[in-house]
Amino acid sequence: MRLWLSKSSEVPIREQLVSQIVLGIVSNDLQSNQRLPSTRELARRYKIHANTVSAAYRDLARRGWVEFRKGSGVYVREFEDNRTLDADFELDQLIALLLQKSRKLGFSLGEIQSRVKHWLEVQPPDRFLVIEPDKELRRILVTEIKEATDFRVEGVGLDEPLNEKVLTGAACVALYDETEKVLSLLPPNTNVLLLRLRSIPTAIQGRKKPSSDELIAVVSHCHEFLKMSRTILIAAGIEPEALSLCDARKKGWQKGLRSCAFVITDAVTAKQMSPDLDVREFRLIADSSIDELKKFIEQFLSDK
């Protein structure tokens, strides 16, 4: 099998190697149990670093395309019809088949790339992408959206690259007060669904106000949740002395909770609470924002 490796390409040499070997296997240029050139041989033939070849072979082995045989070398795996394929393997196989058939029909790589990009752009989003700098707050938002919409949700911080790979197929979501910061990091004209927070007093609505000698515990892994809870609960008429803020990231945070009248917590921390406690799970995202996310799914993703 002949390989074409471009050292001036934006695509790393390792990825070029992996992609072309996969295509060779799918097209039967490389047969099951066929021995591949050694790392040293391939590196010498194409004047590339041996570590690059070694990394490519390890990647292929991880994906299930080749296998290392001790003392013998690297071989194309023998595939069985009833073999259970992992997600990466199946996706690689589909892409390789697309490329193989397209090239046989005479289409150039540029034409294939252009049409694939077009179809990706016109496809409806397949997930919500929560963009939020605070890790713990991001976990809460992801959990609430996932449980409320039963849709795929992922999260990303502002320190991570918001590039095409991350954004393709995603409907971006962010808190209203992070709008300017998030938009400044996204490509122009990227739409962002904005989330509003709801008032914490709804967590104790309809409940008898604790007496002056009773405590309300607020428990969370998220510092922002604790800070916001204290501010709003005090504004709702709860005395500061009646509040016990517990950072669930610290050792022994469960101590003293049973002496509290009830416990307010978030959607993530609630899963770690003892069932014998009076727990009031507070949802951060306003009902109106959840309704907007559901309408988005109904409008654009009704075929899913």
CA 96 from centroid of its chain's CA atoms: 25
Q: How many C-beta atoms surround the C-beta of residue 175 within 10 A?
A: 23
Residue 302 is predicted with a pLDDT of 54
Structure tokens at 259: 């002496």
Q: Is the pLDDT of residue 126 over 90?
A: no
Report the mean per-residue pLDDT for the chain.
Answer: 85
- Which residues are bridge partners to 172 per DSSP? 129, 192
In 3-state terms, what secondary structure has residue 6? coil
Distance between CA atoms of 92 and 28, rounded to whole angstroms?
15
**Contact between 37 and 26 (Cβ < 8 Å):** no
Rounded distance, CA 51 to CA 77, Å? 22
Residue 220 backbone phi and psi in degrees, to 5: -165, 155
pLDDT, average across residues 88-106: 80
pLDDT bracket for residue 82 (50, 70, 90): very low
Query: Mean pLDDT lowest for which of 198-212, 219-233, 261-275?
Result: 198-212
Whole-number Å distance between alpha carbons of 252 and 232: 26
Kind of pairing between the strands at 243-247 and 216-220? parallel
Residue 105: Cβ within 10 Å count: 8
Question: What 8-state DSSP symbol labels residue 145?
Answer: H
* Over residues 119-136, mean pLDDT: 85
pLDDT (0 to 100) of residue 75: 95
pLDDT of residue 304: 44
Report the C-alpha gap between 33 and 75 in whole angstroms: 5
For position 86, what pLDDT does the model report?
A: 55
Residue 80 confidence (pLDDT):
60
Provide the pLDDT for residue 1.
Answer: 67
Strand order in the sheet with 192-195: 153-156, 127-131, 170-175, 192-195
Going by C-alpha positions, the residue among 275, 252, 251 that lies closest to residue 263 is: 275
232 band by pLDDT with thresholds 50, 70 and 90: confident
Give the per-residue pLDDT at 146. 96
Structure tokens at 109: 């790589």
Residue 87 in tokens? 């997600």
Reported as a single tens digit per residue, the pLDDT across 156-214 is 998 888 888 888 889 999 998 888 889 888 988 888 999 998 765 555 566 566 666 77
Contact (CB, 8 A) for 276 and 248: no
Q: Per the structure block, which two tokens stand in for 57? A: 């072979």
- More reliable by pLDDT, 259 or 9: 259
To 5 degrees, how large is the angle CA 175–CA 180–CA 186? 90
Residue 237: DSSP 8-state? T
Question: Nearest 5°: CA angle at 33, between 99 and 66?
Answer: 60
Question: What percentage of the chain carries pLDDT values higher than 70?
Answer: 88
Most confident of 91-100, 145-154, 162-171: 145-154
> What mean pLDDT do residues 25-38 have?
86
29 pLDDT band, cuts 50/70/90, is: confident
Task: Name which of 61-65, 240-244, 296-300 the model is least confident about.
Answer: 296-300
Q: Find the helix or strand (DSSP H, E) in which 220 lies.
A: strand 216-220
Phi/psi of residue 243, nearest 5 degrees = -105, 135
